[in-house]
Amino acid sequence: MQCEGIMIQLAYVNNQVDKEWANIAFTAFPPPYLDEMDVHHCLELLFTILKKHGFKLDYWHGELLYIVELQDMYWAILYGDLDYEEKDSRRQQIKSDISEILERYDSSYIDPLNLSSIVDLLNRRWVCPFVLAYLHVYDEFPKGYPYLLSDYEG
C-alpha cells in the first residue's frame, strides 16, 4: 500500500473524512498521488490525527544538516593525507556545493562557511510545508523551528 492510501485510511479511521469519500479515494485507479492532492490540507489532516495521539514534531532542516556535514568535511580535509592541490581542489568543490544549495534560497552571496549567516538566511527565506501545517494545527511552531545556530553547531 502506498503512502497516499495509508493517509486516506488514517483520515477515515480518525473521522477526518467520511466513508464515501474514503472509498472513492482509496479505490481510485490510479490512486491519488500526494503531488496531485492539496498537500497542505493533507498535512493538516495528518497532524490533526497525530495530535490526537500526543505526537509532537522535532523538526530538522535536511539541507541545513547537509551543509553542516559539508562544512565539517571542508575542515577535516586540512588534516587529510593529501597534497596541497588536491586539498585545495576538494575544499573549493565543497564551497561550490554549499553555494549551489544557498542559491536556491537567495541569489546574493553568502559565505558558504558562515553557518550563522546560513541559518539566518533559511529563517528568512524558507518555511517548510510540514512546519506550516503543524503551526496551523498545533498553534505553535515545532521544536527546531525557527532554526537556531546552536542546534546545528558541533
For the segment 17-35, the average pLDDT, to the nearest whole number, is 63
pLDDT digit string (tens) for 90-107? 999 999 999 999 999 998
For the whole model, what pTM was predicted?
0.72
What is the reported pLDDT for 42? 84
pLDDT digit string (tens) for 65-90? 999 999 999 999 988 888 999 999 99
Residue 10 has pLDDT above 80, yes or no: no
Residues 6+ apart with CB under 8 A from 80: 87
C-alpha separations of 3 from 17, 73, 119 in Å: 17, 35, 31
Q: Phi and psi for 58 in degrees, rounded to 5?
A: -105, 110
